[in-house]
Amino acid sequence: MRMRTIEISVGAFLLAGILALVFLAVRVSGVSLSGSDGTYTLYARFDEVAGLRVRSKVSMAGVTIGRIAAIDVDSAYGEAIVTMEIEGKVDNLTTDAGAQVQTEGILGGRYISLSQGADEEVLGDGDTVVNTQGALVLENLIGEFVTRMGDSK
């Protein structure tokens, strides 16, 4: 083997590694090259967010328009404060827009579904969605059902 051939093949080998890394980053983990600077932050307060996770999606009419950036608890009110990163192109959410914690499929993960309102005013960066509905907890529903069955007897 000549030194030149070895150098060329090692170069091609390393290039293949870099291409593989790019493939894994772009195609497999979905890192977009356009950058994520075009987002703004919205907050929403829920009475129950069981099952919701950071990086879960925020969608409107089934289309993903953002991600959950953080979930904190406000222990004074016993509520959860969810920080959402919404894509910049969705810039006309009204102040009476609704946010609801929903479940994907039967066993799927939880996500937040936003619904558009009818108000004139528009939510900007750092505003809070007021009109919210928290997660339905199956155990609570069953518990309520059982107690009502007991009462009606």
Partner 1 sequence: MLRYLRLIGQETLEWLATLGRAGTVWFWAMFGLPVRGDFALLMKQIYQIGVLSLVIIVLSAFSIGAVLALQGYTQLARIGAEGSVGLGVALVLLRELGPVVTGLLFAGRAGSAITAEIGLMKATDQLSGMEMMGVDPLRRIVAPRLWGGMISMPVLTLIFNMVAIWAAALVGVQWLGIDPGGFWSGMQDGVELWDDVGKGTIKSVAFAVIISWIAVFQGYDCLPTAEGIGNATTRTVVYSSVAVLALDFLLTLVMYGEFK
Residues that bind partner 1 (CB under 8 A): 1, 3, 6-7, 9-10, 12-14, 16-17, 19-21, 23-25, 27-31, 57
Order of strands, edge to edge, in the sheet holding 39-46?
128-129, 39-46, 79-87, 63-74, 57-60, 110-115, 98-103, 131-133
Q: Which CB, 21 or 146, lies closer to partner 1?
A: 21
Closer Cβ to partner 1, 1 or 118, answer by number: 1
Q: Is 58 exposed, middle or buried (0-12, 13-18, 19+ CB in 10 A)?
A: buried
Of residues 26 and 142, the one with the C-beta less far from partner 1: 26
Amino acid, single-letter form, for residue 114: L
Rounded to the nearest whole angstrom, what is the least distance from the CB of residue 76 to partner 1 in the complex? 28
Shortest Å, Cβ 25 to partner 1: 5
81: Cα within 13 Å, side-chain hemisphere: 12
State the nearest-atom distance from the C-beta of 137 to partner 1, in Å. Answer: 23
